[in-house]
Amino acid sequence: MGLKLKTHVAIPRYEKEGGEFDHGDVEWKSGDLFIAHPSKNTIEIVAEGDGKTSDFYHQCTISDAPQASGVVVPQGEKIVFVACRSANKVMWLDAEFSWWLGEIKVGAEPNGLAWDAGRKRLFVSCIKDRAAHLVSPKEGTTHSVTALPGRPRWCVFDKAGDRYLQAIQEPSVIVVLNAESGAITTTVPISRPKAHGLAVDDEGKRMFVACDSGALVVVDLKTLKESATVTLAGKPNVIWYNGKRDRLYLAIEDTGVVEVVDCKSMKSVETVPTEVDAKSIAFDPTRQRLYSFFEKTGRIAVFQES
């Protein structure tokens, strides 16, 4: 069992000098991958071919996404949310036809996005004003704006707990917010500095916190107490949890690998070479496929779980 490299997909007109990718997400039904390309103010779409005339390919580029950063696909909604950092807004596009459908203004420099499927609400954490905005995008409604205790990193929705979880860089904490009101209910201190990447194991009721200091911290979502720590191969950024195989994938940007942690033993079991500065990944649980975004060469690496 392990990640096997299938291919690389080149992104057209990528500028290797100053080029950058940010977050990405997969629409599970189609398998299409949506990638934020902030240096071009675009969203790039990578799709799978028919296996006869083509394998994976760059499907299209969607323009007019100012400094695109966070990307979240609310499964079953046929849309893609994109945080546009320099425009202080969140936009959404049609996942099938790839055109923009709408936008909503939020705070300064939005980045983190988390979707509450039951309420059809989007949680948006904004870097510059250090605030969380809870919005109903299609209605154009802002339900709450909550001050955060520091620079926000990534965020997730904890379905079982009906709450949002927000990583704060300094102090290194996880802020827990009520899903209905957006109010802070508690703050969870993290023992390792600079909390950043987040993922949730809904079935096991665990939260995985990747810290810039080179550590993974596991928090029991029932008690909100730490249950394990793992020393990593370098500085992690984006992380994804694979519930089918109980594995966690971490993009380690400074050493240029994807590190794989077995979440039963809580031990690192695999390091897969990527590229230095490849800080972002996306995971397709339906097809058991992992994507790594290569910033130096403007390519998307496609890995298959065996």
Per-residue pLDDT tens over the stretch 110-133: 999 999 999 999 999 999 999 999
Rounded to 5 degrees, what are φ and ψ at 138? -65, -30
Per-residue model confidence as pLDDT tens digits over 287-302: 999 999 999 999 999 9
- Please give the model's pTM, rounded to 2 decimal places: 0.97
Residue with structure tokens 């779409």? 45
Residue 244: count of CB within 10 angstroms of its CB: 9
193, with CB counted inside 10 A (0-12, 13-18, 19+), is middle
Distance CA 84, CA 68 (A): 5
Length of the chain: 306
Distance CA 297, CA 99 (A): 27
Res 137: pLDDT: 96
Per-residue model confidence as pLDDT tens digits over 233-274: 999 999 999 999 999 999 999 999 999 999 999 999 999 999
Per-residue model confidence as pLDDT tens digits over 75-110: 999 999 999 999 999 999 999 999 999 999 999 999
Domains and CATH numbers, the chain: 22-147 (2.130.10.10)
Structure tokens at 14: 């990528």
Res 17: pLDDT: 80
Res 52: pLDDT: 58
pLDDT exceeds cutoff 60 at 179? yes
Per-residue model confidence as pLDDT tens digits over 29-65: 999 999 999 999 999 999 998 765 568 999 999 999 9
What percentage of the chain reaches a pLDDT higher than 70? 98
Question: Coil, helix or strand for 87?
Answer: helix
Res 18: pLDDT: 82
- The answer to whether 113 touches 71, Cβ cutoff 8 Å, is yes
The half-sphere exposure of 225 on its side-chain side, counting CA atoms within 13 A, is 2
Band of pLDDT at residue 8, cut at 50, 70 and 90:
very high
- For 76, 206, 247, 297, 302, the CA distances from 264, given in Å and listed in that order, are 30, 12, 8, 35, 25
**Letter for the amino acid at 131?**
A
Band of pLDDT at residue 143, cut at 50, 70 and 90:
very high
Work out whether strand 121-126 and strand 141-147 pair parallel, antiparallel, or are unpaired: unpaired
Structure tokens at 287: 């097809």
